[in-house]
Amino acid sequence: MDKIFYTLSILTIFTAIMVVASKHPIRSILYLVATFFLISAHYVLLNAQFLALVNVVVYAGAIMVLFLFVVMFLNLNKDIERFKSWIPAFAALISAGTLLMIFLSATRTSQLTIESAGSHDIGLVETIGEVLYRDYLFPMEICSVLFLVAMIGIVLLNRKEKVNTQNVMQP
Amino acid sequence: MNHIPEIIRTIPFTHYLVLCSCLFFVGLLGVLIRKNVIIVFMCIEILLNAVNLMMVAASAYRGDSAGQIMVLFTMAVAAAEVSVGLAIIVMMYKNLKTTNIDLFDQLKG
Amino acid sequence: MSPEIILHLILWPPLLGFLINGIIGFKLPKWAVTTVACSMPLISFTGTVMAYSTMLNKAATVTLYTWFVGEGAAKVDFAFFIDNLTLLMLFVVNGVGSLIHVYSAGYMHDDKGFHRFFAYMNLFMFSMLLLVLGDNLIVLFAGWEGVGLCSFLLIGFWFENKEYNQAASKAFIMNRVGDLAFIIAIFMTIYTTGGVRFQDIKETLGEGVALNSFIMVVISVLFLIGVTGKSAQIPLFTWLPDAMAGPTPVSALIHAATMVTAGVYLVARLHFLFDTAPAVKTVIAITGCITAIVAASIALKQNDIKKILAYSTVSQLGYMVAALGVGAYTTAVFHLMTHAFFKALLFLGAGSVIHGLHGEQDIRKMGGLKNKMKWTYGVMLVGTLAIIGCPPLAGFFSKDEILAAVYANNFWFFLILAFASVFTAWYMLRMFFATFHGAYRGSEDSYHKIHESPWIMVIPLLALAVLSAIGGFAGLPEITDQSHKVFQLLNKSIEQPRFHVSHLFEYSLWGVTIVALLVIFYFTKRRYTNMDIRENDNEHFVIRLLKGKYFLDEAYAWLFVSPLKKAGSWFMNFFEFGVIDRLVHFPANFLQSGSYALRSLQSGKLSTYLLYSVVALACLLVLFMII
């Protein structure tokens, strides 16, 4: 089964790189959708069924559609320069590379004691539902408030400002 | 469905660590290198997903469902963040007529 | 009446007057300021009279409190000592001072700094009283400094004029040179004799001290330098003519009657100290003689009425110092007294002339004033005759006594002083005839504006004229077979042997004096009544030398003032601009350029901020891994 894992991994990384390296924004968006699907496949491999579905629905279904809408409405498909000049790119490479090295070396040197202490069906919808509504009820309700706030913010942001040009009372 | 977890355990946990680190690296590079603000935003989503994958893998290996719940919330917040962020980008585009992130320097000190 | 109460009555009223006029004088009406200011010296004078009646021939010390607490020489009391010498000085200071205060009320009437003037004058009186009443060198020095300060304040009274300020600074700085020597002399006195009180020093020095020992010579020379600065001797006398920039009552009080006599008083008070170094006394006598003749020669060619009187003051001070140098201390103090009378009279009379002519001070533009200003003419006649030594006025007796005392010591001193007397007569009569006789040399309409001074100014003039006339009778010489009252008075304080000259000399001196005066009177009247005021381009170099005051001011400027100014500007450039400014500006510039450099970090570019955050994260993680 590790073959599946390796295939999926390489594909994921490939699509991620294509997101970064694509010329057109639309292509980047499409590659990103592919990446999301592949990550959902990883979730399925880990028996996180609920999250796999949610990932597809929320990310690939809602967020990416939002991106597509924005790009297509505002006609942002025009080509601007892809990458930055070489000094910031070099600095970015160095710093991001440093972080990668740190993570990888942490992987190598750390001793992980992952033990399976619980059941294996934690990814099932029923289990998640139980845990969510029993232990994490309050954060879930707060999330709804979060969405409300985000909606209000977006609506306010996109309001047209009225410009008062004359000091005349209009009936 | 019960045999799936044992098969999974043939993959060592460190493999997931490496995968997620590489995804994170790619996403980070994309944030720092690209000039189009939309693409930068998308690369932020890659970052978030890499972290989500990490958390789900950890929770699967430990058998603890808290990781998956956290991922759920992360996704919710990410959705809200994307909407607000895109609204801001739209406003900026309407004001500046460009998506070049280097030209967003109105807050220059 | 105990000595303490009399002391408080004498000492404190002028200080009170200073405080009242200084602090609230600007709000008070003029009559209130005048009353406060003039009554204070009169209260002091009353105290002086009471002191005379109760403490004659009895010395008293009044200690108020311990000023510097310490052991032995370090203990200095704020104490006052009243003996006969002090009584005489008190009479001079308070009497002449009160008269001048009354005169100033009329002279300074239209000045807008009226209250300030009287505040300073009262402060001066207080300092002078501290000086003459002091029981020890420290209190005397406090008064010494105080009169120097008041001299500065009053010379530069009309401070809007830059030249007056420079004159005031010049006076103060030259005084300071003398003060420095004075301070060092005080320290050395404490070191050798272990005390500062005059009584203590006298006792210590009375016990068989070796004459002309090196340290006593040094102390005496230092005190002499102090006297030179304060009493305007060579070479520190050039401030006195410039000090005529102040109002005329100031010139009368400070630079004729009181402050400049402080040096003479000091030597008289410390006579026992100078007696231990007879070599220095010779130097003092030489200084006095040279000063007398140099100043008298300069006065021959001056045209400003106040400058003539200023050089005359320097010359007369030279007489006094010469008398001190030959050991005739009482004679010097006697001449101090009579000089105070007639010099104050002359200055106030000159002030009356200036007041009547609305500010004119050049004698070449005067003339014929005797018809227009009769009272002034009368008192100036008395003053002039007094100063030139015309019998039987005051100057005759005191000056002849000095000449006799000097003759008893050294013939050459006598000859120099005799020439100085001839010069004195010449320039004083020149001034007198040019000012009052002949025809008026000014413009026609200014002639109509000339007026006599008001009564408030004339009455002190009359009082001083009376004193100048009869003051000499307090010191009649031997040949008249009358007792020399001043000598009898002061002998209690200053025990010294009386000099003796032969009666033949005295009579011939009288005769020569009278004949010389008549001759000079005739010649000056003929020459200066209608003074020849044409400019002469081809003057003899001696006359140019005299007119240029021996170019001493220029010499001092070249020797001392310009090097100091150059050094000062060099220091300013090097330290002030080079070091301190750079030091102070360095942090400011550093911060500014540093902040300018740091400002570029906030470019506003989002991408740059993202990069910064990632770099920071990487650094932090590295640090966490290392540490």
Interface contact B46-A48, CB threshold 8 A: no
Q: Which chains form contacts with chain C, at 3 or more CB pairs under 8 Å?
A: A, B
Q: What is the pLDDT of residue A167?
A: 56
Predicted confidence band of residue B1 (pLDDT cuts 50, 70, 90): very low
Predicted confidence band of residue B9 (pLDDT cuts 50, 70, 90): low
Indicate the angle between helix axes B66-96 and A125-134, nearest 10 degrees: 80
Query: Is the bond into C477 cis (omega within 30 degrees of 0)?
Result: no
SS3 track for chain A: CHHHHHHHHHHHHHHHHHHHHCCCHHHHHHHHHHHHHHHHHHHHHCCCHHHHHHHHHHHHHHHHHHHHHHHHHCCCCCCCCCECCHHHHHHHHHHHHHHHHHHHHHHHHCCCCCCCCCCCCCCCHHHHHHHHHHCCHHHHHHHHHHHHHHHHHHHHHCCCCCCCCCCCCCC
Q: What is the pLDDT of residues C289-327, one digit of tens each?
A: 999 999 999 988 888 899 999 999 999 999 999 999 998
Which residues neighbour C255 within 8 Å (Cβ) at sequence distance 6 or greater?
C151, C240, C243, C244, C310, C313
Testing the interface with C: which of B40, B43, B100, B108 to mutate, by most C Cβ within 10 A? B108
Q: Closest to C603 (Cβ–Cβ): which among B31, B101, B105?
A: B105
Question: What is the DSSP-derived secondary structure letter of residue C61?
Answer: E
Q: What is the pLDDT of residue C502?
A: 78
**Average pLDDT of chain A, as a whole number:** 86
Predicted confidence band of residue C471 (pLDDT cuts 50, 70, 90): confident
Angle (nearest 5°) at CA C11 between C10 and C13:
85
Number of Cβ within a 10 Å radius of residue C590: 10
Give the residue, C70 or C248, on which the prediction is more confident: C248
Give the residue, C182 or C364, on which the prediction is more confident: C182
CB of C617 less than 8 A from some CB of A? yes
Give the CA distances from residue C383 to residues A87, C218, C387, C394, in Å, rounded to whole numbers and listed in that order: 100, 40, 6, 9
For residue C614, the chain B residues in CB contact (below 8 A) are 28, 31-32
Q: Closest to B106 (Cβ–Cβ): which among C599, C604, C607?
A: C604
CA-CA distance, C548 to C555, in Å (whole number)? 11
Average confidence (pLDDT) over C41-54: 90
Alpha helices, DSSP H only, in C359-502?
A: 374-388, 394-409, 411-436, 444-449, 455-470, 485-491
Interface contact B108-C606, CB threshold 8 A: no
* Pairs of residues, one from chain B and one from chain C, whose beta carbons lie less than 8 Å apart: 33
CA-CA distance, C570 to C609, in Å (whole number)? 53
Say what percent of chain A tops pLDDT 70.
85
CB of C614 less than 8 A from some CB of A? yes
Which residues neighbour C450 within 8 Å (Cβ) at sequence distance 6 or greater?
C356, C357, C369, C372, C373
For residue A91, the chain C residues in CB contact (below 8 A) are 611, 615
Q: What is the pLDDT of residue C365?
A: 81
* Closest to A37 (Cα-Cα) out of A25, A24, A21, A19: A19
Minimum Cα–Cα distance from A110: chain B residue: B14
Say what percent of chain C tops pLDDT 90.
23
Q: What is the pLDDT of residue A45?
A: 87
Give the CA distances from residue C434 to residues C27, C285, C531, in Å, rounded to whole numbers and listed in that order: 43, 34, 6
Q: For residue C273, which amino acid is it?
A: L
Interface contact A122-B68, CB threshold 8 A: yes
Q: What is the pLDDT of residue A115?
A: 62
Minimum Cα–Cα distance from B44: chain C residue: C610
Q: Which chains form contacts with chain B, at 3 or more CB pairs under 8 Å?
A: A, C
Q: What is the pLDDT of residues C503-539, one digit of tens each?
A: 888 888 888 888 888 888 888 888 877 766 666 666 7
Q: What is the pLDDT of residues C585-602, one digit of tens each?
A: 888 999 999 998 888 777
For residue C618, the chain A residues in CB contact (below 8 A) are 95-96, 98-99, 102
C207 φ, ψ to 5°? -90, 70
Alpha helices, DSSP H only, in C437-561?
A: 444-449, 455-470, 485-491, 503-528, 541-547, 552-556
Q: What is the pLDDT of residue C119?
A: 92
Q: What is the pLDDT of residue B49?
A: 95
Indicate the angle between helix axes C114-133 and C30-55, nearest 10 degrees: 10
Residue C89 predicted with pLDDT over 80: yes
Residue C208 predicted with pLDDT over 70: no
Q: What is the pLDDT of residues A143-165, one digit of tens each?
A: 999 999 999 999 998 887 776 65
Give the residue, A35 or C272, on which the prediction is more confident: A35
Burial C140-149 (b: 16+ CB within 10 A, else e): bbebbbbbbb
**Average pLDDT of chain C, as a whole number:** 86
Interface contact C603-B31, CB threshold 8 A: no
Predicted confidence band of residue A118 (pLDDT cuts 50, 70, 90): low
Average confidence (pLDDT) over C238-250: 89
Per the document, the length of chain C is: 627
- Give, for C77, the enclosing helix (H) or strand (E): strand C76-82
Q: Closest to C618 (Cβ–Cβ): which among A84, A88, A99?
A: A99
CA distance B75 to chain C (A): 22
Q: Closest to B28 (Cβ–Cβ): which among C599, C607, C614?
A: C614
Minimum Cα–Cα distance from C618: chain A residue: A99
CA distance B92 to chain A (A): 11
Q: For residue B97, which amino acid is it?
A: K
| Tokens 């042997």, located at residue | C497
Predicted confidence band of residue C420 (pLDDT cuts 50, 70, 90): very high
Predicted confidence band of residue C445 (pLDDT cuts 50, 70, 90): confident
Residue B81 predicted with pLDDT over 70: yes
Q: Closest to B109 (Cβ–Cβ): which among C604, C611, C614?
A: C604
CA-CA distance, C258 to C149, in Å (whole number)? 14
Burial C392-421 (b: 16+ CB within 10 A, else e): ebbbbbbbbbbbbbbbbbbeebbebbbebb
Predicted confidence band of residue C34 (pLDDT cuts 50, 70, 90): confident
Cβ burial of C581 (10 Å; 0-12, 13-18, 19+) is: exposed
Q: What is the pLDDT of residue A168?
A: 58
Average confidence (pLDDT) over C336-346: 90
* Closest to A46 (Cα-Cα) out of A108, A11, A110, A1: A1
CA-CA distance, B80 to B87, in Å (whole number)? 11
CA-CA distance, C261 to C264, in Å (whole number)? 5
CA distance B109 to chain A (A): 20
Number of Cβ within a 10 Å radius of residue C613: 13
CA-CA distance, A127 to A119, in Å (whole number)? 10
Residue C469 predicted with pLDDT over 90: no
For residue C200 the two structure tokens come to 């203590």
Give the CA distances from residue C581 to residues C482, C570, C588, in Å, rounded to whole numbers and listed in that order: 74, 15, 11
Lowest mean pLDDT among A116-120, C440-444, C487-491: A116-120
CA distance A95 to chain C (A): 5
